[in-house]
């Protein structure tokens, strides 16, 4: 099983995602260069966090035009697993692979802190190692994480159970206070209709070792590894 991590100019969580993927899969991962169409036969693609193209213009706005994203689109269309983390989520939305957009945080400031996430759907390749309703603690670190979409899209996401993570308190209650950035419906992560593309603002790769104080992010990677192993 081989994970591929995309490097755009300005990606800065590519090494982190690479490291976490490698820990979980026990196998070498690959860095995929933005200018190349070649996905190097990877079984799952991670679009990592960072500031691709400096987040100039809009977050993810320039990255979506890169050659590698063309291949990712094709890969996803054929059912390939794609995980977008933070800036990766923003890029997937800009690319149209996921609906909606990520706006500036309501508080207008960059926020870096661990948050609680309630798993809304454990029936995806990204969350099979979790239980529905379970609360994970995973850090966020972003300026534009305020999820927005129109009403009909929201209704569709809800109906199709495509909201995968929502910001909650430690007890798993979805409250306004637990919403760090103003996201619609406390949305922290969503998937596509095919359940093979997940975008999330929190950074699971940062909650991946006991020394770091939390290991619950590893579940996402473990779920992915299981999905690939049983594919």
Partner 1 sequence: MITSPAFVIDPAVLRDHGITPDEYEKIKQLLGGREPSHTELGIFSVMWSEHCSYKSSRVHLKRLPTRSRLVLQGPGENAGIIDIGDGWACAFKIESHNHPSFIEPFQGATTGVGGILRDIFTMGARPVAVMDSLRFGPISSNSGLSVQPGAAAPTQAEIHKNHSVMEGVVSGVASYGNCFGVPNLGGETKFEPCYSGNPLVNAFALGLVKKNEIFYAKAAGAGNPVIYVGAKTGRDGIHGATMASEEFSETSEAKRPNVQVGDPFLEKLLLEACLEAMQTGAIIGIQDMGAAGLTCSTCEMGARGGVGLEIEMDRVPQRETGMTAYEIMLSESQERMLLVAQKGREAEVYRVFEKWGLDAVQVGHVIAENTMRVLEHGNVVAEIPNQALTDDAPVYKRPLQRWEPPVPREKPEHIQWNAGKDHTSDLRRLLASSNICSKRWVWQQYDSMVQTNTVEGPGAGDAGVIRIKDSQRGLAMALDGNGRWCYLDPRLGAMHAVAEAARNVACAGAVPVGATNCLNFGNPEKPHIMWQFSQAIDGITKACEELDVPITGGNVSFYNETLGEGIYPTPVLGIVGIIEDIRQAVHPGFREAGKTVVLLRGSDPGDMADAEPEFGSSEYAKEILGALWGYPPALDLEKEAALQKAVIEMAQAQLLDSAHDCSDGGIAVTLAESAFSKGMGIKVNLVSRGLPSEFVLFAEDASRMVISCDRGKLHGIQQVAVKYGIAADVIGETVPEKIEISVDGAVAVSANVNELHKVFEESLEKALRTEPELVAAD
Partner 2 sequence: MKAYVYVSLKKSVLDPQGKTIQGALKKMGYKGLEDVRQGKYFEISLGDGLDRTEAEAEVGRIAREVLTNPVIEEYRFSLED
Contact set with partner 1 (CB under 8 A): 9-10, 12-13, 15-16, 19-20, 49-51, 53-56, 109-113, 139, 141, 143, 203, 205-206, 208-209, 211-213
Tokens of 68: 């590698």
Tokens of 101: 């957009």
103 contact choice in partner 2, partner 1, none (CB below 5 to 8 Å, kind-dependent): partner 2
Is the Cβ–Cβ distance between 48 and 17 less than 8 Å? yes
174 contact choice in partner 1, partner 2, none (CB below 5 to 8 Å, kind-dependent): none
Does 57 contact partner 2 by CB under 8 A? yes
Nearer to partner 1, 60 or 139 (CB): 139
55 contact choice in partner 2, partner 1, none (CB below 5 to 8 Å, kind-dependent): partner 1
Residue 106 CB, shortest distance to partner 2, in Å, is: 5
Please state, as a whole number, how many other Cβ atoms lie within 10 Å of the Cβ of residue 49: 27
Catalytic: 86? yes
Catalytic: 13? no
Catalytic: 203? yes
CA atoms of 73 and 154, how far apart (whole Å): 23
CA atoms of 98 and 93, how far apart (whole Å): 5
Does 65 contact partner 2 by CB under 8 A? yes
Cβ partners under 8 Å of residue 109, min gap 6:
143
The one catalytic residue in 86, 93, 130, 214 is: 86
Q: What are phi and psi of 6, to 5 degrees?
A: -80, 140
Q: Say which residue the tokens 């090494």 belong to.
A: 15
- Residue positions annotated with a catalytic role: 86, 203, 205
């Amino acid at each position: 099983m081989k994970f591929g991590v995309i490097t755009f100019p300005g990606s800065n969580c590519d090494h982190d995602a690479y490291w976490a993927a490698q820990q979980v899969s026990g196998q070498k991962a690959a860095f995929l260069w933005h200018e190349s169409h070649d996905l190097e036969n990877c079984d799952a693609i991670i679009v990592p966090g960072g500031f691709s193209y400096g987040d100039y213009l809009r977050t993810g706005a320039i990255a979506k035009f890169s050659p590698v994203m063309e291949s990712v689109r094709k890969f996803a269309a054929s059912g390939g697993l794609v995980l977008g983390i933070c800036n990766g989520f923003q890029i997937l939305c800009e690319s149209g692979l996921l609906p909606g957009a990520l706006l500036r945080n309501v508080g207008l400031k960059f926020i870096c802190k661990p948050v609680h996430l309630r798993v809304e759907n454990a029936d995806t390749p990204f969350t099979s190692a979790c239980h529905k309703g379970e609360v994970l603690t995973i850090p966020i670190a972003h300026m534009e994480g305020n999820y927005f979409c129109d009403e009909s899209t929201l209704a569709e996401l809800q109906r199709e159970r495509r909201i995968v993570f929502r910001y909650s308190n430690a007890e798993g209650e979805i409250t306004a206070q637990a919403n760090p950035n103003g996201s619609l419906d406390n949305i922290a992560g969503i998937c596509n209709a095919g359940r093979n593309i997940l975008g999330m603002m929190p950074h699971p790769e940062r909650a991946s070792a006991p020394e770091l104080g939390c290991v619950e992010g590893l579940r996402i990677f473990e779920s992915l590894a299981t999905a690939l192993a049983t594919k």
